[in-house]
Every structure is written in C-alpha cells, then in structure tokens.
C-alpha cells in the first residue's frame, strides 16, 4: 500500500450534501495508517495548481461532523477544463506535497480530471491512487443508480412545484399559467421529480418538457390549450437544456463554458422558461409567470433528504476503503438492491467510462406523448425524495339562499 498524503477536492456545481461526502472521506482517511496527512484543494484543481492547499487534519472534529449538515462546497469549487499543458505542473505539485491519494468529488468533468491526472502520474512513474466520489443534482452520471445531491434537489423541486401549483390554482383568475425551469443540460430527472407532488389530474404540474424529447412548438401549444380548457390554468416544468429538432436550444443561448457546454440563460441571455412564457403569451394572450431556480436546489440544506446525506457520506467513506485496498481509476457508485423495500449499497465504475458518458432518463420513464413521466419513473423517484405533504382541499360547496 502506498504511503503518503491524501488530498481532496470538490468541483463543479455544489449540492446540499456534497460536504457530507467530504466529511466521509476525511473521517475514513483518519483511520488509514498509510495516509500521513489529509489535505484539501481550495477551489479544486485550479487551486491545487496555485498551491492553495489546506490541512484538513487540523480542523476540529466538530467542524468535520458539521459538514454533513452544511450546504455548498466547503473547500470551494472551480470549473477548470484541464489542458495537456496543465498536467506537468499538477504532476510537480503532486510530488512536492507527497500526494499518493487523490479524491475528487464531482460530476462527469471532474471524473475526466482525476482520470487524466492518475494516468499521467502513472506514465511518469509516480504512482497515485485516484478515486472519484459522485456528485450532481442532475442525476446524469453514468454507472450509478442515482447521484448524491439529486434526492435533495428533487425534493426541493417537487415541493416548490407542488406548493406553487396550489398558488397557481387559486390565482388562475389573475395568472393563467406558470413555467418552472430546472437545471440539467441533457437529462430531465429534476423535471420528472416535480411530478411526485401530483395527487390529482388537476394538480400541478400538467406538462413536463424534458431534454430527452425534442421541443415541438405546435404540440406544446396544443398541450397548453388542452390543460387550460380542463383546469383553467397551466403548470409547466421544463429542463434548461430543451432543444428544437435541429438541436437549437429553446433558450436561444449560444454561450459555452470551458467544457463546451451551453450556458443556458447566461450573460443576460434568455432562459428556456422565459422563451416558453413568450410563446404562450404570444399565442393565447395569457398572463403568467416563469421561475428559474438555478442554484437554489443546489444549496437548500433545509430541504435536504436524510437518506441523501447518509448516502453522500457513505460514498466518501467507500472511496477511502477502495483506496486502502490499492484500487484506483474508479468512481464509487450507488447500487439499488432489488425488492419493494428501498435498500442501497455501493459499487464501482471506471473513471474513464463516467468521463465520456451521460445518463439520460430511459424511454420507459417518459410517456408516449413525451410530455410527462410514467408510473415506473415515479416508483424509481419516490423512495429517494421521501414523503411529501398532503395539503387540505376544500369541497367548494355552493351556499344556497
């Protein structure tokens, strides 16, 4: 087993439970004799390159334990796209700080980062163990049943659409529609989760626009008209990354980040929700609202699911266990056991596979019309999100004089 220091980094967008994974790594690493010091990258790999390194081993145990209830990324994050010319500098810092264990908590791009670093170090005869810990509210990581951070974000969105749907129902004489936008470039997991609060056909949401299905304006307007005629108002949830048949984003955004991903609604541009609002208003003259939650479901600790916290911590601990066994080049995964009662264990998948694949919703989770989810999808989601409130409904019996 390699002997040296361990370093931990967090990358990409945060979640309300990403720090629970950090706590899991730190707590487990303290029990490994061959890990001399537990270090942290301040602001991810970008901070490591600038030698912005902290000593996590000197943090009080109460602070590490408190991370499990603390949102956002305690170490600070970055969205740096590694270039080939960055690798020699990173390699130099690995040797300078005697790093033998690298744990990065993040999504697809983060797994690509650690995969490249581990391979470069191996090629240059400095063995390190690199293990990825999954994180993303989008739930689009390949190889895992779900990702830590998704259940809490899904609960946030389900509650928001459910509660705002009651408001929309009661305010339908003022506003005839509302559009909610969920984060997630290529996967509709969060829009799908919004359906969990629907207890009656008239309840919100009525229409889901998911990136897995191309946006058809004519069909969309027909769905809006049908729902309005039936309910007197329309609740719509869209993914930020919905596109037309030719691949053009509904948001009309052309801005891209360092990883060549479209920045939906960035730099003063429009959002998908804003565009859907305009489409509905122009066609029907309806008054309505649009809500773009952006980072709110990524940081709402008050709506975090305890199962999510526990599983995030479990993934961090399992990463250290794998490293202590000499395994490398892997990402920890969550494996749902078969059966009616929800149980989850951990597994692994190669980092190189996660880096190049995404996990959209399967076809059997989307209805034939492409505008809502199926029962199979709800069955998958419900144990992750937990019980939702059951709000009172009046009978509205008319008083006769």
Q: What pLDDT score was predicted for residue 2?
A: 93
Which DSSP category does 58 fall into? G
Neighbours of 257 (CB within 10 A): 12
Q: What pLDDT score was predicted for residue 358?
A: 84
Exposure pattern of 158-184 as b/e (b: 16+ CB <10 Å)? Answer: bbbbbebbeebbeebeeebbbbbbbbb
> What value does the mean pLDDT of the chain take?
94
Q: Which residue has the higher pLDDT, 235 or 256?
A: 235
Query: What proportion of the chain, given as a percentage, has pLDDT over 90?
Result: 91
Sheet holding 177-182, edge to edge: 207-209, 234-239, 177-182, 288-292
DSSP assignment of 207-271, as one string? Answer: EEE-TTS---HHHHHHHHHHHHHHHSSEEEEEETT-B-TTS-BTT----B-TTS-B-TT-TT---
Is the pLDDT reported for residue 260 higher than 70?
A: no
Domains and CATH numbers, the chain: 4-136+144-148+302-356 (3.40.50.450), 150-298+360-385 (3.40.50.460)
- Among the listed ranges 54-58, 152-156, 297-301, which one has the minimum average pLDDT value? 297-301
Kindly report, residue by residue over 125-157, the tens digit of the pLDDT.
999 999 999 999 999 999 999 999 999 999 999
DSSP assignment of 68-131, as one string? Answer: GG--S-TT--------GGGHHHHHHHHHHTTEEEEEEEESHHHHHHHHHHHHHHHHTT---EEE
Mean pLDDT of 3-9: 98
Q: What pLDDT score was predicted for residue 184?
A: 85
Q: Is 138 a catalytic residue?
A: yes
Cα(194)–Cα(384) distance, integer angstroms: 13
Is the pLDDT reported for residue 165 higher than 70?
A: yes
Query: What proportion of the chain, given as a percentage, has pLDDT over 70?
Result: 96
Determine which one of 86, 138, 140, 223 is catalytic. Answer: 138
H or E segment to which residue 37 belongs: strand 35-41
Answer for the pair 291, 276: CB distance below 8 angstroms, yes or no: no
Q: What pLDDT score was predicted for residue 252?
A: 79
Sign of CA dihedral 78, 84, 86, 91: positive
Answer for the pair 256, 78: CB distance below 8 angstroms, yes or no: no
Q: What pLDDT score was predicted for residue 294?
A: 83
Token output for 141: 């990581």
Residue found by looking up tokens 């429009």 in the block:
270
Kindly report, residue by residue over 264-281, the tens digit of the pLDDT.
554 445 799 999 999 999
Q: Establish whether the linkage from the previous residue to 17 is cis, with ω within 30° of 0.
A: no
Q: What pLDDT score was predicted for residue 270?
A: 75
Give the alpha-carbon dihedral of 370, 356, 305, 386, to 10 degrees: 30
Q: Which residue has the higher pLDDT, 266 or 399?
A: 399
């Amino acid at each position: 087993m390699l002997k040296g220091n361990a370093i931990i980094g967090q990358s990409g967008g945060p979640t309300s439970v990403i720090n629970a994974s950090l706590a899991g790594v730190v707590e487990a690493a303290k029990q490994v004799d061959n890990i001399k010091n537990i270090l942290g990258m301040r602001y991810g790999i970008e901070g490591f390159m600038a030698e912005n390194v902290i000593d996590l081993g000197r943090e009080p145990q109460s602070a590490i334990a408190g991370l499990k209830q603390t949102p956002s990324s305690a170490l600070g994050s970055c969205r740096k796209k590694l270039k080939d010319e960055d690798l020699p500098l990173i390699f130099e810092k690995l040797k300078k700080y005697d790093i033998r264990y690298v744990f990065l908590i993040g999504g697809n791009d983060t797994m690509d980062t650690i995969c490249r670093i581990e391979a470069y170090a191996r090629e240059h005869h400095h063995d390190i163990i690199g293990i990825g810990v999954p994180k993303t509210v989008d739930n689009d990581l390949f190889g895992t049943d779900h990702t830590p951070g998704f259940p809490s974000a899904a609960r946030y969105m389900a509650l928001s659409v459910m509660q705002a749907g009651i408001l929309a129902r009661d305010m339908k004489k003022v506003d005839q529609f509302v559009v909610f936008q969920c984060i997630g470039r290529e996967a509709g997991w969060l829009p799908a989760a919004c359906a969990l609060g629907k207890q009656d056909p008239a309840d919100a949401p009525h229409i889901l626009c998911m990136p897995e299905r191309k946006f058809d304006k004519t069909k969309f307007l027909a769905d809006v008209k049908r729902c309005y005629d039936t309910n007197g108002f329309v609740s719509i949830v869209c993914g930020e990354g919905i596109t037309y048949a030719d691949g053009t984003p509904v948001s009309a955004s052309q801005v891209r980040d360092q990883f060549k991903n479209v920045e939906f609604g960035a730099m003063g541009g429009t959002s998908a929700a804003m565009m859907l609002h305009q489409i509905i208003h122009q066609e029907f003259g309806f008054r309505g609202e649009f809500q773009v939650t952006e980072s709110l479901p990524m940081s709402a600790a008050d709506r975090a699911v305890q199962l999510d916290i526990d599983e995030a911590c479990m993934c961090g601990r399992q990463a250290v266990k794998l490293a202590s066994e000499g395994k490398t080049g892997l990402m920890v995964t969550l494996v749902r056991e078969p059966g009616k009662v929800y149980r989850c264990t951990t597994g692994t998948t190669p980092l190189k596979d996660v880096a190049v694949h995404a996990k959209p919703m399967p076809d059997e989770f989307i209805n034939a019309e492409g505008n809502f989810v199926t029962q199979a999808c709800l069955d998958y989601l419900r144990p992750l999100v937990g019980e939702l409130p059951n709000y009172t409904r009046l009978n509205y019996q008319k008083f006769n004089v």
